[in-house]
Amino acid sequence: MNRAEVTELFAILMLAYPNAETFKAPTQQALMEKLAPTITLWAVCLKDVDARTGQEAIVKLCQTCKFPPTIAELREAVTTVRTETEGEIMGAFREARNALNLAAMSGQTAEQVLVRLPKRTQRVIAEMGGLDAFAPPDKSFYNLGGFRRTYEGLLRTNPVGLPGGVTLPALTE
């Protein structure tokens, strides 16, 4: 994560912990000056974390922590989010692959099976270019790499699951 992405995390934390001394200052400018070194430190310590994963981890921590989390707590939550995301992606991939394999054996068309898959899986397959991109007809394997990239890309479009129209408080430099 870079400084701008960490600043977005701090905007979430400000909403979740409005009474924390960390986020109290007489003016917006004073708050930015107060938080600048902390944001820089977090950016350095979290440079290997992508923004979507960081935001999802912060939301999870906000649900369980009584006080603003530390960098170490966030890193633990990031590991959990990464594991959960990988499990979700692989589960969706296996479900689609198995359904298509069963369809071929039972005489159903791939399109008949596709409409019975979860909406998110249907959207991933559509976004990656359709069934021929997911299960290339000239190949004997399914496109796991393309499925994973597309799935992760769709997750990034709404990283913390905020409903449309919700805006975070400004915490700009």
Please give the Cα distance from 103 to 68 (Å, whole number): 50
Q: What is the pTM of this model?
A: 0.78
Burial of 13 (0-12, 13-18, 19+ CB in 10 A): buried
- What's the whole-number average pLDDT of the chain? 90
- Is residue 77 within a helix (H) or strand (E), and if so which, with residue range? helix 71-106
End-to-end CA separation in angstroms for the chain: 16
pLDDT value at residue 157? 77
| Rg, the chain, Cα only | 21
Q: pLDDT tens-digit profile of 37-83?
A: 999 999 999 999 999 999 999 999 999 999 999 999 999 999 999 99
pLDDT value at residue 104? 84
Q: pLDDT tens-digit profile of 91-128?
A: 999 999 999 999 889 889 888 999 999 999 999 999 99
Report whether pLDDT(155) > 90: no
- The tokens of 25 are what? 């200052």
